[in-house]
């Protein structure tokens, strides 16, 4: 037996303060955006009414955050850089009742341990400002109005391994701007502006909550959403909830704020998703901006160093309240089917035959927002719309004309006879009844066409647009479009930045003439952001093509004629 070698014994000892701070920085500071978030938190806690963020090289070379808050006295400036030093809590009771954005006293010390940092601050009663160099500890007089300026230079210079994990300048900039956007949504009473390399990037003036949501997320979101305002016991919910048909392929337009703090919470996310029930097709994600206000003692914000997670005292009550509130907000948008006997003549309808049942239900004329049926509801639809002695007919001047039994089809998927709930195609073949999910079927057809087109030329043929298509975009989407331009061109999409919040599409994939360009572009950009580099795009090409196919396929609730349904069935058979 081989002799087991024991590792050399090392004595237990205390870690040096600098190493402790660098370890803590690994939990708090992930990228420049993390620094921006922490510094803006401090500015808001100081009562700032105007916050300015200035960046160089996406925040890697320099991050400067200026505010007009109450400032820091010169005697407290050195203490501000000490670990676990804060003015925001002094006891366990205050920790349990915390109402400020910051409270852990870790951020400034963590940032100072992995960068070159300096502070300039002035209080209302001070004759002038004072500047502090974090590395040397030198304190000297300086010129500044009341407020504080924090400058962070050469982030991660002392930990080069961490710096290698940073993305491109454009990507880091987009994350930093997104961090300010979240603060802007939470604090409409405060003005924010962002500059990069001396150029203006984004600005939001102090305004009302609704105007701020419009300014940050755009008119398209407002037009496709519904207001939410509910008081549920001690909890207040407000914001905007997106319509089901405005759902996205990614969860990139979901903003949840608990007592003014942007958080990610699985419990609330699950409650919101549950409220949409079966109104969303497949993996579609709802869009929303939701603000939860509840007493501080009912939520624990001291869960993670980044303060992006919370824990509710009564999670079940929160889940139920959120789900009920969202369901009520969506109620006017839910599908409805008129239940009334067929008594008057029905006008001819090119969309296909009607399927009235003995209750007079008209399933071939879905309401504007029919939900995608679950397995149980689909069976109920079939039972109500199909029977051995059905009221199956086609419109005529005299009313409902019974259909004569059609000859059995030799086609594997048969011939279409109806469309159910805007989602399923009912077809009849030689063996009986066939039910086809039209979106899934068409998605597969389009996907195979895309793969074939890509394989021929190692890129998708593009079709220039006569009129370029513009769309509102986030800073992340703009940065991704610039960084992944070659990949987008290979996918047949000529996408370029038209401004800090606008993209222009000049060509589309020739095989997708009917695709929604806005949704297609956003979904591909979201996938490319996840991929992160054109070097690995080839390995994920099929995934990108699948995303494009999904957004080019026919949507639920689109009414198809019998000819269109038959054509889809024949294409599916060929695939």
Residues 350-403 pLDDT 10s: 333 333 333 333 333 333 333 444 444 444 544 444 433 333 334 434 443 344
Measured on CA atoms in the order 506, 508, 514, 516, is the torsion positive or negative? Answer: negative
SS3 for 207-226, per residue?
Answer: CCHHHHHHHHHCHHHHHCEE
Q: Name the more confident of 134 and 158.
A: 134
E strands present in 205-341: 225-232, 235-242, 254-258, 261-262, 288-293, 299-300, 311-312
Beta bridge partners of 227: 240
For 114-237, where are the alpha helices, taking DSSP H only? 160-164, 169-186, 209-217, 219-223
pLDDT band at 98 (very low <50, low <70, confident <90, very high): low
Question: What 8-state DSSP symbol labels residue 441?
Answer: H
Q: Name the more confident of 183 and 347.
A: 183
Distances (CA, A) of 27 to 31, 106, 159, 308, 562: 11, 10, 14, 12, 59
pLDDT at 210 over 90: yes
pLDDT at 448 over 90: no
State the Cα–Cα distance between residues 355 and 363, nearest whole angstrom.
6
Q: Is-contact 89 101, C-beta < 8 A?
A: no
Torsion of CA 484, 485, 486, 492, to 10 degrees: 110
Interval 152-162 mean pLDDT: 84
Question: What 8-state DSSP symbol labels residue 295?
Answer: -
State the Cα–Cα distance between residues 462 and 513, nearest whole angstrom.
10
Q: Is-contact 206 189, C-beta < 8 A?
A: yes
pLDDT at 232 over 80: yes
pTM: 0.68
pLDDT at 171 over 60: yes
pLDDT at 185: 96
Minimum mean pLDDT among 143-147, 359-363, 427-431: which range? 359-363
pLDDT band at 342 (very low <50, low <70, confident <90, very high): very low
pLDDT at 477 over 90: no
Q: Is-contact 353 404, C-beta < 8 A?
A: no
* DSSP helix/strand/coil, 154: coil
**Average pLDDT score, the chain:** 78
pLDDT at 102: 67
pLDDT band at 70 (very low <50, low <70, confident <90, very high): very high
Dump pLDDT digits (tens) for 20-44: 766 666 667 889 999 999 999 999 9
pLDDT at 403: 43
Interhelix angle 266-276/315-330, rounded to 10 degrees, is 30
pLDDT at 128: 95
pLDDT at 509: 84
pLDDT at 345: 33
**Nearest residue to 493 (alpha-carbon basis) of 536, 524, 451, 455:** 524
Q: What percent of the chain has pLDDT over 90?
A: 35
pLDDT at 164: 81
pLDDT at 426: 85
């Amino acid at each position: 037996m081989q002799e087991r070698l024991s590792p050399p014994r090392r004595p237990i000892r205390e870690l040096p303060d600098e190493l402790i701070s660098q370890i803590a920085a690994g939990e708090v500071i992930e990228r420049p955006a993390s620094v921006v978030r922490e510094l803006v938190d401090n500015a808001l806690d100081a009562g700032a009414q105007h916050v300015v963020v200035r960046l160089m090289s996406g925040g890697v070379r320099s991050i400067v955050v200026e505010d007009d808050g109450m400032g820091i006295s010169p005697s407290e400036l050195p203490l501000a850089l000490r670990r676990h030093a804060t003015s925001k809590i002094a006891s366990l009771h205050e920790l349990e009742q915390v109402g400020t954005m910051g409270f852990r006293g870790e951020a400034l010390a963590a940032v100072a341990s992995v960068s070159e940092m300096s502070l300039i601050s002035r209080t209302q009663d001070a004759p002038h400002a004072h500047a502090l160099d974090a590395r040397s500890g030198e304190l000297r007089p300086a010129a500044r109005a009341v407020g504080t300026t924090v400058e962070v230079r050469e982030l991660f210079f002392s930990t080069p391994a961490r710096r290698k994990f940073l993305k491109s300048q454009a990507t880091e900039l987009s994350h930093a701007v997104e961090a300010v956007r979240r603060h802007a949504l939470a604090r409409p009473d405060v003005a924010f502006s962002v500059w990069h390399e001396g150029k203006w990037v984004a600005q939001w003036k102090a305004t009302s909550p609704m105007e701020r949501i419009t300014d940050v997320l755009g008119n398209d979101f407002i037009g496709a959403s519904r207001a939410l305002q509910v008081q549920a016991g001690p909890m207040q919910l407000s914001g905007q909830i997106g319509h089901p048909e405005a759902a996205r392929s990614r969860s990139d337009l979901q903003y949840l704020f608990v007592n003014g703090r942007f958080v990610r919470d699985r419990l609330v996310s699950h409650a919101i998703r549950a409220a949409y029930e079966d109104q969303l097709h497949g993996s579609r994600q709802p869009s929303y901006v939701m603000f939860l206000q509840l007493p501080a003692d009912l939520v624990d914000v001291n869960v993670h160093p980044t303060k992006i997670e919370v824990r509710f005292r009564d999670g079940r009550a929160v889940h139920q309240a959120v789900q009920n509130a969202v369901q009520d907000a969506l109620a006017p948008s839910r599908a409805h089917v008129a239940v009334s006997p067929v008594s008057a003549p029905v006008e001819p309808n090119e969309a296909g035959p009607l399927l009235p049942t003995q209750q007079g239900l008209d399933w071939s004329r879905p309401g504007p927002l029919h939900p995608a049926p679950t397995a149980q509801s689909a069976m109920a639809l079939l039972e109500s719309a199909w029977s051995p002695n059905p009221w199956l007919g086609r419109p005529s001047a005299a009313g409902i004309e019974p259909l004569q039994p059609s000859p059995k089809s030799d086609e594997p998927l048969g011939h279409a006879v109806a469309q159910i709930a805007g989602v399923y195609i009912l077809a009849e073949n030689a063996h009986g009844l066939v039910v086809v999910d039209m979106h899934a079927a068409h998605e597969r057809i389009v996907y195979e066409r895309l793969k074939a087109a890509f394989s021929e030329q190692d890129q998708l043929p593009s079709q220039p647009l006569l009129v370029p298509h513009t769309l509102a975009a986030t800073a992340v989407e703009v940065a991704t479009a610039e960084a992944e331009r070659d990949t987008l061109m290979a996918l047949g999409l000529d996408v370029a930045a038209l401004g800090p919040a606008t993209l222009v599409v000049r060509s589309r994939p020739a095989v997708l003439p009917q695709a929604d360009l806005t949704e297609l572009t956003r979904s591909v950009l979201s996938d490319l952001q996840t991929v992160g580099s054109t070097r690995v795009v080839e390995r994920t090409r099929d995934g990108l093509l699948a995303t494009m196919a999904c957004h080019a396929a026919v949507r639920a609730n689109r009414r198809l004629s019998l000819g269109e349904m038959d054509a889809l069935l024949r294409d599916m058979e060929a695939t």
